[in-house]
C-alpha cells in the first residue's frame, strides 16, 4: 500500500462534493444514523424516536487545587 497524498486529497474532495450534492432530507437521515451509531458505541440506549435528540451533556470536570 503506497501513501499517495495527492490521490487521498482528490478522493476526499470527490466525497465531499458527492455528499454536498445530496438532498437535505438524505443528509439528515445520515446524521440520525451516525448519532444512533455513536450512542450505541457509547453504550447508551438508542432513542426509539429518531426524530429527536436525547443526548445528555458530558459532566464538567473540575481541576483539583492542591
Q: How confident is the model over 3-60, as pLDDT tens digits? A: 899 999 999 999 999 999 999 999 999 999 999 999 888 886 656 665 666 567 677 7
Does the pLDDT of residue 1 top 60, yes or no?
A: no
Q: How far is CA 18 from CA 29, 35, 43, in A?
A: 16, 21, 31
Give the N- to C-terminal CA distance of the chain in Å, as an integer: 51
* pLDDT of the residue at 25: 93
Domains contained in the chain, number: 1
Residue 1 in domain? no
Side-chain half-sphere exposure of 43, counting CA atoms within 13 A: 0
The pLDDT, as a whole number, for residue 43 is 83
Asked if residue 27 belongs to a domain, the reply is yes
Residue with cell 458527492: 18
Tell me the residue range of the domain where 27 lies. 8-42
Structural domain includes residue 48: no
Separate counts of helices (H) and strands (E) for the chain: 2, 0
In a domain, 60, yes or no: no
**Global confidence as pTM:** 0.50
25 located within any domain: yes
Amino acid at each position: 500500500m503506497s501513501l499517495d497524498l495527492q490521490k487521498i486529497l482528490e478522493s476526499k474532495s470527490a466525497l465531499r462534493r458527492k455528499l454536498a450534492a445530496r438532498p437535505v432530507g438524505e443528509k439528515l437521515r445520515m446524521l440520525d444514523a451516525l448519532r444512533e451509531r455513536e450512542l450505541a458505541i457509547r453504550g447508551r440506549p438508542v432513542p426509539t424516536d429518531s426524530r429527536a435528540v436525547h443526548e445528555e451533556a458530558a459532566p464538567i470536570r473540575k481541576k483539583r487545587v492542591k
